[in-house]
Amino acid sequence: MIKLEIMDKIMALYSIDKLIDETRRLAAEFKSTTGTMLPVSGEIARYDVSKKLDLTLNDNNCSYDAVGNGIREGQRVLIKSRVIGESINSSHRIGQLNTDANWDIVIVSLMNNKFEPLEIYQLNKKQVIHALTKSGMKRSKRGAISVAKFRIIGELLWTNENGIESHNNSQKYYR
């Protein structure tokens, strides 16, 4: 009986891998053909980030996307994404960050035009609040941070070239 349950889980994971890969392909083809984006980058990022950084996705409809394991144990994680192509321009922004919501850290997956992750960054809630109040711009009052700013103040966790970045300072993971 246990072997069947394990096989079911393996098959479900395999199926999800295949579905995400096909979603990437279709989204990239759609963008290339029409010039517009399918609204799937968030779900792809949730999958990629949870898999690469050992997070458990939250199925509940609440203010965070995942819960951390290991070095992020118990942390409530907000996952954001941005398709930047091959370069970042000044108009690239991270979606709204509601600082009143119930999350501890925000992780951003920056993706290429094939919806594959290039880099993954993290900020804790205090860093986000500080960045938003320091800026004072109208966009900041709405909870928007530019991708360039996030890269400057955020901690690089993962790159397509190196995988998990070994220079991470684990102190930054905690509240």
What is the set of domains in the chain, with CATH numbers?
40-173 (3.40.210.10)
* Distance separating alpha carbons of residues 79 and 94, to the nearest angstrom: 10
Helix (H) or strand (E) run with residue 103 in it: none
What's the mean per-residue pLDDT of the chain?
Answer: 87
Structure confidence by residue, pLDDT tens digits, 41-77: 999 999 999 999 999 999 878 899 999 999 999 999 9
User: Confidence class of residue 141 from pLDDT cuts 50, 70 and 90?
Assistant: low
The Cβ-side half-sphere exposure at 12, using a 13 Å CA radius, reads 6
Structure confidence by residue, pLDDT tens digits, 24-34: 999 999 999 99
What integer pLDDT is reported at residue 86 of this predicted model? 74
Query: Hey, which residues does 108 pair with through a beta bridge?
Result: 80, 121
pLDDT of residue 167 exceeding 80 = no
132 against 122, higher pLDDT: 122
Q: Which two tokens stand for residue 114?
A: 């094939």
Q: What percent of the chain has pLDDT over 90?
A: 67
What integer pLDDT is reported at residue 140 of this predicted model? 54
Q: What are phi and psi of 94, to 5 degrees?
A: -90, 145
Task: Give the global pTM.
Answer: 0.84
pLDDT of residue 123 exceeding 80 = yes
pLDDT of residue 173 exceeding 50 = no
Q: How far is CA 82 from CA 15, 52, 60, 114, 118, in A?
A: 25, 17, 23, 12, 10
Burial class of residue 48 (count of CB atoms within 10 Å of its CB; 0-12, 13-18, 19+): buried
